[in-house]
Structure 1
Amino acid sequence: MYYGLFKHVLLGPPVKAYYRPWVEGADNVPAEGGAILASNHLSFSDSIFLPLVLKRKVVFLGKEEYFTGSGVKGYATKAFMEGVGTIPVHRGGGRASEAALRTGMQVVQGGELLGIYPEGTRSPDGRLYRGKTGVARLAIEAGVPIVPVAMIGTDIAQPIGQRVPSRTDIGVRIGPPIDPSEYSARQDDREALRELTDTVMAAIAGLSGQEIADRDAAQYKRELDKAARIAAEDLGPSSAS
């Protein structure tokens, strides 16, 4: 409902004029048909700048809670999410990962582009973390190509915790599509899923130039949070006495 309005009128023109995002390899995005855009994830604004540099609509998946808020804030959040191409994932009655897979399947089988961040969360330190295998499973089951994407500079423009991106060079590099057909009918084979996912992540690293961290990003974030809590406790009232 709001996508065209945001991209072509309200959000797109002023953002492109101010930030002047650049793109390399846009021709690697299929001109039609379903495909997965698998990107690194450095900033919240990744989901804003990627669609702006492409001609086709890009659909992202978001928590249902983004669309169910009340009042002015709830309406504004819903409008913004729809405006940047996000659709809700209904998680009732099943795990979030399965709900996302089903919703993503509907998107690509409907001939649209689906944006996915295989790391599952934003990088806490600029490194590229291990990809989750859902991207491979979806591509194999749907029979659609995976297009590797690298967001450049969004972490500098909008670090975690900063609301409005700063003015800096922001770019998007897009690599050749990866055909999952050699893994056909192996969507339940863990080794096949890991191999294809690692191939995708290696392609993203080649585009972004990021250092590869061979571990789960969400787990690392939990470790950082735990360390921060322990440090805060050590600096509490008892240590000051």
Structure 2
Amino acid sequence: MFYWLLKLVVLGPVLKLVFRPHVEGLANVPRSGPVILACNHLSFSDSIFTPLVMKRKVTFVAKAEYFTGKGIKGWLSRMFFVGAGTIPVDRSGGEAAQAALDTLLRVLREGNIAGIYPEGTRSPDGRLYRGKTGVARLALESGAPVVPVALLNTDEIQPTGTLVPTVKRVRMRIGAPLDFSRYADSRGDRFVERAITDEIMFELMALSGREYVDVYAAKLKDPQPA
């Protein structure tokens, strides 16, 4: 209820008026049934603009710290993420990635849309980085189609570290659903999971026009000592 109130009445109309989203391929998102939206990740605002333009509710996961802040700022952050349909996940332990996937799998089994960033973190420089195989495991476990979603300029609207976004038309390009049911009997096969993930990343590269880098973005953000 709060999600739709924010999207349709309180916040959504203002965001659409200010940022005038231009979306190509919106009809590629199935109108019913479980769907995985696999998005490139350029900006904090990706999790705002992606649900904004979809006709169905989209659920992302976010670190639990966004929901536990103190004071007015913490309350506003918590209300925003709850209203955006985001589910908190504790990312402090070694099982954090699995907890996120389990949460999204539950969303899919309920017949809804789950959003995921295969890169696992925001791009440090606007390029597209190697995808983690969680998106493939999610597709194999749920049987849901994967719809690639390319955010084209959110890094210009709200670069990393910027609190106040620049007013600019947000642009998005959505590809045709990818069906991986042919791999239904290959769950747990890491080579199949890598092949599926690479296919998804190839589609995101083609849709976004961004240069692809075959390393994990997290390694650039947190380089290991030699």
Q: TM-score range by the shorter chain?
A: over 0.9
Tell me the CA shift for residue 180 of structure 1. 1.3
Tell me the CA shift for residue 185 of structure 1. 2.8
Aligned AA (1:71): G
The 5 Å alignment of 1:75-86 reads 75-86=75-86
SS at match of 1:185: helix
Tell me the CA shift for residue 106 of structure 1. 0.3
Distance 1:30 1:89 in 2: 27
The residue number in structure 1 matching 2:58 is 58
The 5 Å alignment of 1:123-138 reads 123-138=123-138
Distance 1:40 1:104 in 2: 17
The residue number in structure 2 matching 1:29 is 29
Q: Deviations over 1:140-173 (max 9, x none)?
A: 0111111001001100111111112101231111
The residue number in structure 2 matching 1:183 is 183
SS at match of 2:169: coil
Larger Rg: 1
The residue number in structure 1 matching 2:108 is 108
| Mean Cα deviation higher: 108-117 or 4-13 | 4-13
The residue number in structure 2 matching 1:39 is 39
The residue number in structure 2 matching 1:166 is 166
Tell me the CA shift for residue 91 of structure 1. 5.6
The residue number in structure 2 matching 1:201 is 201
Q: Deviations over 1:51-99 (max 9, x none)?
A: 1111111110011222233432222111000122211124688600111
Residues 43/93 of structure 1: CA separation in 2 closer, same or farther (3 Å cut): closer
> Is the Cα–Cα contact under 8 Å of residues 46 and 151 in structure 1 kept in the other structure?
yes
> Is the Cα–Cα contact under 8 Å of residues 141 and 185 in structure 1 kept in the other structure?
no
Identity of aligned residues (%): 56
Tell me the CA shift for residue 12 of structure 1. 0.7
Distance 2:164 2:70 in 1: 23
Aligned AA (1:119): E
The residue number in structure 1 matching 2:117 is 117
The residue number in structure 2 matching 1:221 is 221
- Residues 1:68 and 2:68 aligned together: yes
> Is the Cα–Cα contact under 8 Å of residues 2 and 79 in structure 1 kept in the other structure?
no
Once superposed, what is the RMSD of the aligned Cα atoms?
1.7
TM-score (norm 2): 0.95
Which stretches of structure 1, 4 residues or longer, exceed 3 Å deviation after superposition?
Answer: 90-94
Aligned AA (1:171): R
In structure 1, list runs of 5 or more residues that go unmatched.
Answer: 227-241
> Is the Cα–Cα contact under 8 Å of residues 153 and 168 in structure 1 kept in the other structure?
no
Aligned AA (2:3): Y
The residue number in structure 2 matching 1:210 is 210
